[in-house]
Amino acid sequence: MSDTDIIPVIDLGPYLAGAPGAIDRTAEELRFALTEIGFYFIVNHGVPSGRIHEVFRQVARFHAQPLEKRLEIKLDKHNVGYLPMRGDTLRTSTVETVTKANLNEALFVARDLPSDHPDVLADRRFRSANRWPSDLPGFREVIVDYCDTMEQLARKLVRLYARALGLPAEYFDQPFKEPQYKLRMTHYPHQADPPDDEFGIAPHTDTSFLTLLAPNDVPGLSIRTQSGKWIDAPAIPDAFVVNGGQLLQRWTNDTFLATSHRAVNRSGGERYALAFFCDSHIDWPVAAVPTCIGPDKPPKYPTTYYTDYMIGYQQRTYNVFGTENKDAAE
């Protein structure tokens, strides 16, 4: 296989330790990954494996509840809450016509805003209070702690992104001072012999600036290389999988990739996945950075904002809203 058919592994250890020159060496590896493949693994990231395992345990607890309990906190217009099995269909795929709903269920949480936060009181879109299960003691605390940990890691990663784009390391510090994020806690049941057009999650690209997918002992993720070949992501112990999405493309004027990926659980057992989608502050304008535009390279996308972009995406993707129920998604 060529290097562009292998998901690279990036060791964050020297950079996080402040080793001389490590930020630019690591940023160079990151640039290759995001311009040629769109995915990479990170190791020596500083997140304790025990903390990750506890989150997986809590997620299994949630999905083991009776369906009526899970439906008490059904997904709302802010994209927080429980998404039932086959609750979304990825009509936005650019590499395959998707007609079947995804064979998964998921719980979404965002930043844990208090009920008296001004944005919550104003019912501001995507700035709501979370919807937590009522009968799972300890669940909320573990999940909030994990989100805090992922936010801190994302803030360290965006400095590498800045250097990889030829910008000062601090360039993204302000946009990501209070990033907008979602944690998707997904359950994929076993699919023994699925037809070609049925997936745990169908081919798609994420919307995010970056996605952090937690280390997983159960394989199932595949990515589509730039040559059009699908390759399976190996299960590397303690390694996060990181990829960019559609808003990263807008920030970088298509310099960095949003790579299509899919998941099918053929493990023979249950599969759980923890995807942390991270974007800039909700009020920060998303527009191409200076090093990605010029006289011969005009911006490909108009300036946009998280809220506007996600309203359209949610409406096209989640069957609980659907294109036929446009008002519910706006």
Question: CA 57 to CA 80: how far, in whole Å?
Answer: 20
CATH code of 174's domain: 2.60.120.330
Question: CA 241 to CA 222: how far, in whole Å?
Answer: 11
Question: CA 94 to CA 102: how far, in whole Å?
Answer: 16
Instruction: Decide: helix, strand or coil at residue 249.
Output: helix
Alpha-helix runs per DSSP H in 102-219: 118-121, 139-164
Please list, residue by residue across 231-263, b when 16 or more beta carbons sit within 10 angstroms of its beta carbon and e when fewer do: bebeeeeebbbbbbbbbbbbbbbbbbbbbbbbb
Question: CA 132 to CA 153: how far, in whole Å?
Answer: 24
pLDDT given for residue 325 in this prediction: 37
**Which pair of tokens denotes residue 169?**
């390391």
pTM, to two decimals:
0.94
Look up the domain containing 40 and give its range: 3-329
How many C-beta atoms lie closer than 10 Å to residue 75's C-beta? 23
pLDDT given for residue 98 in this prediction: 63
Amino acid identity, position 247: L
pLDDT given for residue 330 in this prediction: 29
**Which residue's structure tokens are 């009526």?**
68
* 274 in Cβ contact with 55 (< 8 Å): yes
The residues facing 276 across adjacent strands are: 183, 212
**Which pair of tokens denotes residue 137?**
């003691």
Give CA angle at 43 (289, 280), nearest 5°.
30
Query: How many structural domains compose the chain?
Result: 1
Which segments in the chain show pLDDT lower than 50? 1, 322-330
pLDDT given for residue 247 in this prediction: 98
Report phi then psi at 218, rounded to 5. Answer: -105, 115
Predicted confidence (pLDDT) per residue in 36-48, tens digit: 999 999 999 999 9
Question: CA 75 to CA 81: how far, in whole Å?
Answer: 4
Question: CA 194 to CA 210: how far, in whole Å?
Answer: 30
pLDDT given for residue 86 in this prediction: 83
Predicted confidence (pLDDT) per residue in 114-166, tens digit: 999 999 999 999 999 999 999 999 999 999 999 999 999 999 999 999 999 99
Question: CA 75 to CA 312: how far, in whole Å?
Answer: 16
